[in-house]
Chains A and B, each alone.
Chain A
């Protein structure tokens, strides 16, 4: 599995008169999970969309490894989960998840094992309309994982999931993408989630987005809810909160 690092060099973006992302340079290391946190509307999503190749930066350049994002997309190396599940209503859960592999032109692997993993066992043949909001979101996350992407972009994918499921997914999904060596960028509003899931937290300022803090998350032990109660984790959380308040 090739690992891909993400280079943003002097990247900026404006929509009309509004500067959304100020010139910004960061490197996200291969195989790491980086969380982006920051105030609402600060330009996190725009940055993520530029990494995905959905928007072109006005200045600067984004490279995934030594390729342009669009080139990685064409060889099926990218996947993304949106805030909204965006499932195709006419496909069953299984077919929606398989779509990820189909579009990436990759063998699907074990769709049913993944369905069980995200807790949708028994719902594989249901249509999205028959599922709850949280179940749809889990199907969307499974769709982004099925193609074993090199770069996985998660735009607040757990926002609409209920607290218990969120806790379970927080524990079970990261080992999956870590074991595949994916480079993950996660947008979240939850500081705890950022600390729990990532190797590094980037705190962004309000618009236009700049990096105000770059906090490594160097925690040993199993990454589950209990970890958050350790002094080390609480120290990291405090650091992130402090940076957010200053942002």
Chain B
């Protein structure tokens, strides 16, 4: 009972503080007070309820399809080990395309309706679920798989009797993370040209510089996403009893050692992707006017003028994304390391950070841009905030992985806190840090392109927004292809650094 009372007390205190700050703030265009938000909700109850229902239903279908896809992919990868490397490369590539770039493409392919919202919701969730589910499927001891073989049972029987049940706690962690992500995906789908939903209202509020509406929509989106996050967490705890700590490690599979083998594999995957692209367009007999094929994009990019436009927009985007990416990682890891020096403070900060991680940060992007401007600082803050929470939470969990016996060794020599932090805890945190640095690459690109599309009117985000409205589909498809390549390459570079560092500090994590 006491913790609940205290939590309610804290909430009331924060609300009062917020109200007071909003009242004394000279700039009423920037901050809405809780009372103004409440008033807006009361006035527009019907509209908000309809929009929330619309977005929630789309997000739910995205959640269902995305997670179903992740489970099917995971099961296939376990049952057919030979498919693992190709499937994980394809899954990663699709995950690396920023949602705001796939949005307009899906819009032209699906036309009007809820297809793109649902599909983007699915795309927003499948990769994290796939990773957590695979970790779960592999979390079985060798004796269990030996036991199955002793009775002459194969991979399918092992999957059904052992792996499926063993993966459940992990799957629930994935499902929990994916609830807010599905909501985010659905909203981005609405940004790219829907008729109804919270995303549409957000666009309208921003264009009309309606501060109260912008704040209200951000708060509503955050509340719905966090509610879904809590409900799934509660169900998971009821169903399986505990929550494993998961570092989102890359799907483990043996890497061919010879460099020509790796090149050949890369070439194979590239050809496969192009063939899938071409054949899926042909199979549905999609109109060449909006459904461009690899050849169209190649021809378009061969024109120097087109190339210059695209690459200068891309350069601008990357120059905004990189500082935000680095700042988000640095602040997240730095704060986690500092907080470990004060265990009581860290205990208090953890639940707050876990809760805030569930907020679909992009929905607060309009507020951040209102506050920090449309230039470098505003964009940087959005990217940094997007990356900060997952990094902070993961690094805190990583710091707690420091083996107790090692800590005791340091203490028995009377070593100070800083020494312990530097020599034992930070190295123990590295696997978690790199896992989040890797996952943050697509997140940073999503944040920067979305904020460019929505608010700042710069870079490749703006270029895509313009091409979508001027029906310059060659440029749109080229932007998407180039963004996917850049994101995958950046992800690969971080993954290479990760392997190099982990080989020294956490060799058991390198598979």
Footprint of B on A, CB under 8 Å? 49, 52-54, 70-76, 78-80, 82, 84, 86, 88, 90, 99-100, 103-104, 147, 153
Contact = CB atoms under 8 A, between A and B. Distances in A.
Interface centre among B144, B152, B153 (most CB of A within 10 A): B152
Contacts of A80: 146-147, 150
Contacts of A74: 152
A212 B440 CA distance: 60
Interface string B135-171: 0000001011011111111000100011001000000
Interface in B118-148: 141, 143-144, 146-148
Contact of A103 (B141, B143, B148, B165): B148
Contacts of B150: 52-54, 73, 78-80, 153
Contacts of A84: 141, 143
A68 B28 CA distance: 82
Contacts of A54: 146, 149-150
Contacts of B147: 80, 82, 86, 103
A160 to B, nearest CB: 14
A83 B162 CA distance: 19
Nearest to A103: B151
10 contacts: A53-B149, A71-B152, A73-B149, A73-B151, A74-B152, A79-B150, A86-B141, A103-B151, A103-B153, A103-B161
Given A73-B149, A78-B152, A88-B162, 5 more contacts: A52-B150, A53-B149, A73-B150, A99-B161, A100-B151
Nearest to B240: A90
Top 5 A-B pairs ranked by shortest CB distance? A74-B152, A73-B152, A86-B143, A103-B151, A80-B150
Given A88-B162, A88-B165, A90-B165, A104 B144 contact: no
Interface residues of B, number: 15
B233 to A, nearest CB: 20
A99 B160 CA distance: 13
B347 to A, nearest CB: 27
Interface string B424-440: 00000000000000000
B151 A78 contact: yes
B152 A75 contact: yes
A197 B148 CA distance: 27
Nearest to A53: B149
A88 B144 contact: yes
Contacts of A82: 143, 146-147
Nearest to B145: A54
Contacts of B152: 70-76, 78
Nearest to B146: A54
Contacts of A75: 152
Nearest to A84: B143
A140 B9 CA distance: 52
Contacts of A53: 149-150
Contact of A76 (B141, B143, B151): B151
A52 to B, nearest CB: 6
A4 to B, nearest CB: 15
Contacts of B165: 88, 90
B93 to A, nearest CB: 36
Contacts of B162: 88
A32 B162 CA distance: 33
Nearest to A99: B161
A88 B141 CA distance: 10
B476 to A, nearest CB: 49
Contacts of B148: 103
Contacts of A104: 151
A48 to B, nearest CB: 11
A155 to B, nearest CB: 10
Contacts of B146: 49, 52, 54, 80, 82
A75 B153 CA distance: 10
Contacts of B157: 103
A104 B152 CA distance: 8
A109 B141 CA distance: 28
A100 to B, nearest CB: 8
